[in-house]
C-alpha cells in the first residue's frame, strides 16, 4: 500500500504543477478470476491482473479525465497531461464547488478476505463445476449454466486537498440457472450470491435453490389477466429496488428531472412498513467501503423512513449544486473498484428493514394471488412505471403455492408498489446490492391468458 500511496501523491503534485486548480488520483492493483459453465460444459475461465491509474483534473470547474493501464512514470505523466489539457479546454462550470475536504475514513470491518488472495484459477474452476453439479442434482434437470467469480483490489485515493488513504476490497459471486424438462415442458430456476468473503456454503445453497425451483416450475398453469395480491421473493425485491430506489434517489437524476422521485423529498411515497437505508458500513457486504470514490467517509443514510422519502444520494458535484454535503455515494464501479471511468452516483448497500412475517405466512394468508420470485425487467426511471415479464412466478390458490405461470407480465408504478406493501418478511438476504426481505403487495396488474 505504501508504494501505491507514493505513486498517488506524486501524481497529484504533478497534475497541480501542470495548472489544475483541483484534482484527484486513484491508483489500483486488481485481480480477477472467473469460471463459466454453459449447458454443462466449461465455456471459459479467466485470470486477469489489472493495475492502473485514473486522474481527474479541474480548471474553472471543468473536469478532464484520463486513465492508464499500469503504473509506469511515463504513462502517468501522459495521463496527467491529457486530463489537464481537457480541463483547460472545456467550458467553465460554476456548479463545481470543489472536491471533498480531508477527513478520516470510517473504520469498516469485512472489506477484504485474505482467503480470496490465496485462491488459484483451478480452484475457481472447481467451485464452478461443483456449483453446476449441485444444480444438476435432479433427474429432471436438462441443462445448467453456472459461474463463479472472485476479485480483489488494493487502492489508494489522493486529492489536492490533502486526502491520501487506501483500502483493500474483495468479492465472491456465484450465479446459476438450472433448466428442468419433462416432455415438452421446460422451466428455469435461478439463484446467486454476492459477498466480500469466500462463502463456500453458498455453492450448495445457491445450486440447490436453482434446482428445486426449476423442478417446481414444471407444473405449469395459466392465469387470467387481472389485479392480484403479489408476494415478492427477496430476489425480486432486490432486483427491482436496486434500480427503482437506487436510481430514483440519485441526486444527479433528480436535478435533471429524470427521476420519478423528483420533488418528492419529505413526502410520503410508500407504506409505513417501508423503511430503507443506504449503509456502506455493513460487514462483508459487496457495496461496503470506508470512504467513497472521492474520499468522503462512509456513513449510513436514511433514504425512506416509514414511507417518507428522507434523502437523495450525492457525490461532491451534485451536492455542490444543491448546497448540501456529499452523502459519500461517489462510486468507482462495482464491488471491486475500477480506474477506467470517472466516479458516478450509486447506492452502496440498500437495506430494507425487516418486518414480522415469514414468506410462508404471506403465501398462506393469500387466498388467490401470485408469488413473484424473479424478473429481469427494470422500471422506467423517469416515470417509475414497471411493465415486465415475470421470469419465475407461481400461482397462489387458497394459501398454497400452485404451478408456475408462463409468459405472464406484471405492471405497476413504483409509488404504487411502495404504497401497497402490506406485509414485510422477517428474514433478509443480499441480492443485487440490496439487503431485502420478502414482501406482499395488496395488488398489482398481472397480464396473463385465459
Tell me how far apart the alpha carbons of residues 287 and 148 are, in angstroms, rounded to a whole number: 18
The predicted pLDDT at position 334 comes to 87
The predicted pLDDT at position 450 comes to 58
User: Strand 226-232 relative to strand 434-447: parallel, antiparallel, unpaired?
Assistant: antiparallel
Nearest CA to 330 among 341, 188, 444? 341
Report pLDDT digits (tens) over 351-394. Answer: 999 999 999 999 999 999 999 999 999 999 999 999 999 999 99
Tell me how far apart the alpha carbons of residues 311 and 329 are, in angstroms, rounded to a whole number: 12
Q: DSSP letter for 21, please.
A: S
Q: Could you tell me which residues come within 8 angstroms of residue 283 by beta carbon, excluding any fewer than 6 positions away?
A: 108, 109, 110
DSSP sequence for 250-282: BHHHHHTT-STTTT-TTSB-S-TT--EEE-TT-
177 vs 199, 204, 392, 400, CA distance in Å? 19, 14, 12, 25
408 vs 210, 234, 371, 387, CA distance in Å? 20, 19, 12, 11
Contact yes or no for 353/330 (Cβ under 8 A): no
- What's the burial of 333, exposed, middle or buried (CB within 10 Å: 0-12/13-18/19+)? middle
Q: Which domains, and CATH codes, for the chain?
A: 2-216 (3.30.2290.10), 220-240+354-447 (no CATH)
Contact yes or no for 21/58 (Cβ under 8 A): yes
Tell me how far apart the alpha carbons of residues 276 and 69 are, in angstroms, rounded to a whole number: 38
DSSP sequence for 352-384: EPP-SB-HHHHHHT-SEEEEEEEE-PPPPTTT-
pTM score, whole prediction: 0.95
Tell me how far apart the alpha carbons of residues 310 and 91 are, in angstroms, rounded to a whole number: 34
Nearest CA to 88 among 66, 111, 58? 58
For the chain, helix (H) and strand (E) counts, in that order, are 10, 20
Contact yes or no for 227/443 (Cβ under 8 A): yes
Q: pLDDT under 70 in the chain at which residues?
A: 449-450
Contact yes or no for 190/210 (Cβ under 8 A): yes
Q: Element (H or E) spanning 210, and its range?
A: helix 201-216
Contact yes or no for 408/224 (Cβ under 8 A): no
Contact yes or no for 22/99 (Cβ under 8 A): yes
Tell me how far apart the alpha carbons of residues 396 and 348 are, in angstroms, rounded to a whole number: 34
Amino acid at each position: 500500500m505504501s508504494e501505491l500511496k507514493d505513486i498517488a501523491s506524486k501524481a497529484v503534485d504533478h497534475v497541480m504543477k501542470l495548472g489544475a486548480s483541483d484534482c484527484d488520483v486513484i491508483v489500483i492493483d486488481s485481480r480477477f478470476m472467473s469460471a463459466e459453465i454453459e449447458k454443462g460444459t466449461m465455456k471459459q475461465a479467466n485470470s486477469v491482473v489489472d493495475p492502473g491509474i485514473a486522474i481527474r483534473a479541474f480548471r474553472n470547474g471543468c473536469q478532464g479525465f484520463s486513465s492508464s493501464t499500469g503504473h509506469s512514470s511515463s504513462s502517468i505523466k501522459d495521463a496527467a497531461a491529457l486530463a489537464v489539457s481537457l480541463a483547460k479546454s472545456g467550458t467553465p462550470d460554476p456548479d463545481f464547488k470543489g472536491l471533498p475536504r480531508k477527513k478520516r475514513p470510517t473504520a469498516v470491518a469485512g472489506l477484504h478476505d485474505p482467503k480470496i488472495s490465496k485462491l488459484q484459477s483451478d480452484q475457481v474452476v472447481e467451485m464452478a463445476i461443483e456449483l453446476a453439479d449441485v444444480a444438476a442434482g435432479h433427474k429432471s434437470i436438462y441443462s445448467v449454466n453456472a459461474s463463479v467469480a472472485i476479485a480483489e483490489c488494493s487502492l489508494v485515493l489522493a486529492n489536492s486537498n490533502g486526502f491520501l488513504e487506501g483500502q483493500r476490497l474483495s468479492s465472491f459471486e456465484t450465479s446459476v440457472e438450472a433448466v428442468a424438462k419433462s416432455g415438452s415442458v421446460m422451466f428455469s430456476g435461478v439463484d446467486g450470491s454476492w459477498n466480500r468473503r469466500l462463502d463456500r456454503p453458498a455453492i450448495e445453497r445457491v445450486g440447490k435453490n436453482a434446482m428445486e425451483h426449476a423442478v417446481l416450475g414444471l407444473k405449469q398453469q395459466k392465469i387470467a389477466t387481472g389485479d392480484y395480491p403479489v408476494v415478492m421473493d427477496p430476489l425480486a425485491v432486490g432486483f427491482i429496488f436496486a434500480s427503482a430506489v437506487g436510481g430514483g434517489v440519485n441526486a444527479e437524476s433528480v436535478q435533471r428531472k429524470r427521476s420519478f422521485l423528483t420533488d418528492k423529498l419529505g413526502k410520503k411515497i410508500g407504506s409505513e412498513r417501508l423503511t430503507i437505508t443506504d449503509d456502506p458500513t455493513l460487514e462483508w457486504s459487496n457495496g461496503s467501503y470506508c470512504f467513497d470514490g472521492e474520499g468522503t467517509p462512509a456513513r449510513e443514510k436514511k433514504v425512506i423512513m416509514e414511507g417518507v422519502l428522507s434523502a437523495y444520494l450525492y457525490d461532491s458535484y451534485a451536492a455542490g449544486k444543491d448546497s448540501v454535503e456529499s452523502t459519500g455515494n461517489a462510486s468507482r464501479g462495482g464491488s471491486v473498484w475500477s480506474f477506467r471511468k470517472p466516479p458516478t452516483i450509486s447506492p452502496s448497500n440498500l437495506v430494507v428493514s425487516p418486518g414480522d412475517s415469514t414468506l410462508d405466512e404471506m403465501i398462506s394468508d393469500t387466498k388467490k394471488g401470485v408469488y413473484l420470485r424473479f424478473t429481469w425487467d427494470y422500471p422506467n426511471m423517469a416515470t417509475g412505471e414497471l411493465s415486465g415479464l415475470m421470469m419465475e412466478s407461481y400461482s397462489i390458490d387458497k394459501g398454497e403455492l400452485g404451478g408456475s405461470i408462463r409468459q405472464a407480465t406484471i405492471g405497476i408504478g413504483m409509488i404504487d408498489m411502495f404504497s401497497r406493501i402490506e406485509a414485510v418478511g422477517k428474514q433478509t438476504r443480499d441480492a443485487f446490492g440490496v439487503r431485502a426481505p420478502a414482501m406482499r403487495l395488496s395488488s398489482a396488474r398481472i397480464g396473463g391468458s385465459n
